[in-house]
Each structure stands twice: as C-alpha cells, then as structure tokens.
C-alpha cells in the first residue's frame, strides 16, 4: 500500500519516484481518495492522474501567447501556476460577459513580476475602486497633480511634462503603507486630487507598469500610491476641481490619446468677483446658459468672467 497523507488541503502520495500532491480542488481528488482507501497500487493511481492531466490540458483555454490560461475547473493559471486574487476572479466574470481578456492577461503577467506580495494582492482592487484603466500592454493609467511649471509639488525639481519618464531605485521607495507621505514617485486616483493643494497646477496622466508599484498608503481611503517608475503620457486639461469628472470611461484604455478638452460636453462656468477673490458661481453649463447667468449678475452690479472647459475667458462682465 502506498504511503499517503490526507489533509483539508488535499492528498500527498509518496510514489517510487517521489511525493505528489493532489489539491482538494482537483477534479480527480475524489477518485484518487477512493482508490487509496481501496488499497490501489501505484500504477493504477498514476494512470488516473495522467488521464486527468491530459483531459485538463485539452480543455485549457489559453489567452494569446501570454502564458495565462483558464482551466476547465474555472481556475486561472500563469505558466501552469494557479493564481487566485481579485484580478483573476474579475477575469472569469469578464470572460462570461464576452470581454477580450488579453489586456488583463498582460497585466497579470506584469503584476506577478512585482516582488511585493502586498502590491500583487492590493493593486488591482485599488484600480477598480479608483476607476483607473488598464492599457493593452498590461500597464495602467493614473493621475498626478503638478505645479504650473510641470514640476512636482514636493521638491520642485522633477519635470512631469508629457513624454517624460521618471524613475528611482526601487529600494529607495518606502514600502510601508502606514507611512502616508514618504519617499517614492507618487500617483493617485481621481478622488485624491481634491485633497491635494495647488488648484492652479496641471493634472497629468501617468502610465505605470504594475511591476513597479511599491505601496498603496492607507490614508485618504487608499486613493494614492508609490512606485519607482512612470511615464507621463498626457494631461487632463478638462479637470474641474469643484466638479471632478472621471477622464476614463472604460476598463481598458485603447484610444492612445488622453488629453481631454471637453469640447463635446457642457463645460462653461461663471466666476464672480468677491472681496475674497474669484469664486465659482455655476459650472457645467451650456454657453448660452452661462451667458444668461452672467447678464443677470451684471444687472446686480457684480463682475466676473464666463469661462469654457479649458479655462479660457469667453466673456467678462
């Protein structure tokens, strides 16, 4: 009789060639367990395992040439290793809905190259909550607010204009999520922008490889992160601090362009001069409506501007 151990996780059998483990989730688990109870020999059990392996291989659905596959038992694998996390579970859902899984497979490949266990577990959930899309090559897009001269707010030395690639040694990025403001290259979701100073700055779009993410700090409801490298690929020119609208409307961003002038949406707003300075009176308006409000304010003896979605003055009153 073959030596074996049965646990809640599965069975380990010691064959003449060495030990083999069969997971409790394996389709052949029940049959192997019954054979062991019946005192079956090595040859009979190996035949069952080989047949199950062959059947599984024939039923695997590969995703491009990524090395990612979906088994008939509903598990996602990468180079044969089962990966079970929020990303792979979402992949199974989107597969049922008929979506192309190649971008998610590419993202999974890149993500698994990240040496941080915590980053691998937390990053995709962060992207879903923050409505940050993947790119076809398995990276993701995020936001960053910078100074009017495109330099970073913290040091004023790093150029974040479109086309720049910023990087630093990974070991110099703080990987402790409880350190909220610390060393590293920072990125964020839309919700974090309103908490950050510098309303006169630019909102940039970053492209980040998930392998380069180091930490998701716990403050501000997990809306920002630290990484060791990113590429600045665009500017969100239509961002309105008082009424932020997400730039991205799909889970995979394939347009290649991330600039947004909001020309096709009601984007005019009215600024009114007060003793404290200019204050926004109304926003998200059609131009005709903004002009009407400005005329009414002028009759009240007030002064200010009508501006469009890219902050150009359309009318002074």
* Digit-coded pLDDT (tens) for 14-27: 998 999 998 887 87
Q: Give the Å distances, CA to CA, from 28 to 12, 17, 21, 32, 46.
A: 13, 20, 12, 6, 11
Question: What's the pTM?
Answer: 0.64
Res. 163 pLDDT band, cuts 50 70 90? very high
Q: Which pLDDT belongs to residue 246? A: 74
DSSP secondary structure letter of residue 300:
T
For residue 262 the two structure tokens come to 């909001």
Highest mean pLDDT pick, 63-67, 165-169, 218-222 = 165-169
The predicted model gives 121-130 an average pLDDT of 88
pLDDT digits (tens, 9 = 90+) for 232-277: 999 988 776 655 677 777 777 876 566 555 444 457 888 888 887 7
The predicted model gives 177-193 an average pLDDT of 81
Res. 149 pLDDT band, cuts 50 70 90? very high
More confident residue, 213 or 310: 213
More confident residue, 52 or 42: 42
In 3D space, the residue among 87, 66, 185 whose CA is nearest the CA of residue 136 turns out to be: 66
The pLDDT mean for the chain works out to 84
More confident residue, 177 or 293: 293
CA 195, CA 28: separation in Å to the nearest integer? Answer: 54
> What order do you get walking across the sheet with 313-316 strand by strand?
277-285, 268-274, 304-307, 313-316
Q: Is the pLDDT of residue 310 over 70?
A: no
Q: Which pLDDT belongs to residue 266? A: 53
Helix, strand, or coil (residue 129): helix
Q: Which pLDDT belongs to residue 140? A: 95
Element spanning 193, H or E: helix 190-193
**Is the Cβ–Cβ distance between 181 and 137 less than 8 Å?**
no
Q: Is the pLDDT of residue 175 over 70?
A: yes
- Name the packing angle between helices 117-130 and 102-111 (round to 10°): 140
For residue 302 the two structure tokens come to 């007030």
Sequence-distant (6+) residues with CB within 8 A of 229 are 165, 166, 167, 168, 185, 208, 209, 212
Q: Which pLDDT belongs to residue 108? A: 95
Q: Is the pLDDT of residue 199 over 60?
A: no
Q: Is the pLDDT of residue 13 over 60?
A: yes
CA 220, CA 80: separation in Å to the nearest integer? Answer: 38
More confident residue, 72 or 216: 216
Q: Is the pLDDT of residue 210 over 70?
A: yes
pLDDT digits (tens, 9 = 90+) for 270-309: 888 888 777 887 777 887 888 888 888 889 888 888 887 6
Q: Is the pLDDT of residue 1 over 80?
A: no
The predicted model gives 199-214 an average pLDDT of 90
Instruction: State CA 143 to chain mean position distance.
Output: 11
For residue 235 the two structure tokens come to 């500017």
Helix, strand, or coil (residue 239): coil
DSSP alpha helix (H) spans, the chain: 29-37, 42-59, 86-96, 102-111, 117-130, 190-193, 287-299
100 in the Ramachandran plot: left (φ > 0), alpha (ψ -120 to 50) or beta? beta
């Amino acid at each position: 009789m073959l030596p074996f151990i049965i646990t809640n996780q599965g069975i380990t059998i010691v064959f003449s060639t060495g030990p083999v483990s069969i997971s409790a989730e394996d389709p052949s688990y029940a049959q192997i367990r019954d054979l062991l109870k019946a005192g079956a020999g090595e040859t009979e059990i190996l035949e069952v395992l080989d047949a199950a392996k062959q059947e599984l291989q024939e039923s695997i659905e590969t995703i491009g040439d990524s090395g990612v596959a979906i088994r008939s038992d509903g598990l996602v694998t990468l180079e044969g290793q089962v990966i079970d996390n929020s990303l792979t579970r979402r992949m199974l859902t989107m597969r049922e809905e008929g979506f192309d899984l190649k971008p998610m497979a590419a993202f999974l490949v890149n993500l698994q190259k990240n040496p941080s266990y915590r980053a691998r577990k937390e990053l995709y959930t962060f992207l879903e909550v923050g409505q940050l899309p993947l790119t076809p090559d398995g990276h993701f897009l995020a936001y960053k607010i910078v100074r009017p001269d495109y330099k970073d707010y913290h040091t004023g030395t790093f150029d974040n204009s479109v086309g720049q690639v910023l990087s630093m040694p990974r070991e110099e990025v703080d990987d402790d999520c409880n350190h909220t403001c610390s060393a590293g290259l920072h990125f964020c979701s839309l919700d974090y922008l309103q908490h950050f100073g510098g309303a006169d700055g630019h909102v940039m779009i970053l492209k980040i490889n998930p392998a380069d993410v180091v930490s998701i700090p716990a403050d501000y409801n997990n809306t920002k992160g630290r990484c060791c490298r990113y590429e600045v690929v665009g500017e969100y020119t239509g961002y309105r601090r008082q009424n932020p609208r997400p730039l991205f409307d799909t889970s995979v961003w394939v347009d290649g362009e991330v600039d947004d002038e909001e020309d096709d949406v009601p984007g005019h707003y009215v600024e009114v001069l007060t003793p404290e300075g200019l204050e926004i009176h109304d926003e998200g308006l059609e131009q005709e409506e903004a002009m009407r409000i400005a005329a009414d304010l002028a009759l009240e003896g007030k002064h200010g501007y009508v501006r469009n979605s890219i902050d150009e003055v359309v009318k002074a009153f």
